[in-house]
């Protein structure tokens, strides 16, 4: 794997992580009926999703990075939410 491909792979994966974190927080803001927060997260979904899509359209092998990033982003966002809920219960 050459350096340029590794950088693209990492960029697509990071972008997808951020897109999935954005999706998770978007749904939380919608559930809270927080229209401003939901709108901001929605904008970030499009921004990160657009970068991801444009990147792997040129090189379909980067779809693997998007898949890994999608799982990782959702996992991270849910774990953060669970930790915050545990802290709230303890306090």
Instruction: Kindly report the length of the chain.
Output: 91
* Dihedral angle, C-alpha 53, 50, 16, 78, nearest 10 °: -130
Q: Which residues make Cβ contacts (< 8 Å) with residue 30, sequence separation at least 6?
A: 38
pTM of this prediction?
Answer: 0.79
- Structure letter (DSSP) for residue 62: G
Strands of the chain, DSSP E: none
For the chain, the straight-line distance linking the first and the last C-alpha, in angstroms and rounded, comes to 49
Cα–Cα distance for residue pair 33/40, rounded to 1 Å: 13
31-81 pLDDT tens trace: 999 999 999 999 999 999 998 888 877 788 888 898 999 999 989 988 988
């Amino acid at each position: 794997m050459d350096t340029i491909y590794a950088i693209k792979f990492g960029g697509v994966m990071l972008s997808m992580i951020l897109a999935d974190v954005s999706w998770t927080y978007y749904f939380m803001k919608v559930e809270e009926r927080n229209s401003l927060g939901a709108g901001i997260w929605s904008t970030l979904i499009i921004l990160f999703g657009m970068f991801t899509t444009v990147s792997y359209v040129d090189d379909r092998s980067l779809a693997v990075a998007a898949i890994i990033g999608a799982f990782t982003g959702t996992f991270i966002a849910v774990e953060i939410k669970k930790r915050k809920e545990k802290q709230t219960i303890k306090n």
